[in-house]
Amino acid sequence: MLTIALLLLTSFIRFDIAGQSVSLTWVMVLITAIWAAVDSSKIRLKRYKSGISYGPVVLFLGFVLLWVIAFPWYLIVRHKILSGTAVLKDGATNAAT
């Protein structure tokens, strides 16, 4: 729901840069991609079993190319890591971050 709400909200907001109309959606995609890349290294995302467990650069590119899928998926995995329910790649459960 958050993904859809952000897309709808930003798709209606436009601003001009050098005479070109730019949608706020692209700005939001870039900002969330940068945030996810930085945050993923802080929470050490690569240690966990997930289809989205990549390094910051790959995660950034995934966000830019497939934001609608990558953003909610990242939020779900991030929540599991922070709540301690994510499974580490070696098979142990996450005790604490």
User: Each residue of 39-49: pLDDT tens digit?
Assistant: 999 999 999 99
Q: Report, in this order, helix, strand and coil percent for the chain, each rounded to 5.
A: 60, 10, 25
In a domain, 41, yes or no: yes
Domain membership of residue 55 as a residue range: 28-83
Nearest alpha-carbon partner for 25 in 59, 67, 58, 57: 67
Alpha-carbon dihedral of residues 56, 39, 51, 70, nearest 10 degrees?
Answer: -90
Give the span between the Cα atoms of 73 and 13, in whole angstroms. Answer: 25
Residue 11: the pLDDT is 81
Residue 95: the pLDDT is 53
In a domain, 32, yes or no: yes
Residues of the chain under the 70 pLDDT cut: 91-97
In a domain, 55, yes or no: yes
CA dihedral sign of residues 28, 75, 66, 41: positive
Q: How many domains, the chain?
A: 1
In a domain, 92, yes or no: no
Residue 31 tokens, joined: 């900002």
Residue 66: the pLDDT is 95
Residue 30: the pLDDT is 93
In a domain, 96, yes or no: no
In a domain, 47, yes or no: yes
In a domain, 66, yes or no: yes
Residue 93: the pLDDT is 58
Residue 23: the pLDDT is 79
In a domain, 33, yes or no: yes
Nearest alpha-carbon partner for 94 in 29, 49, 41, 27: 49
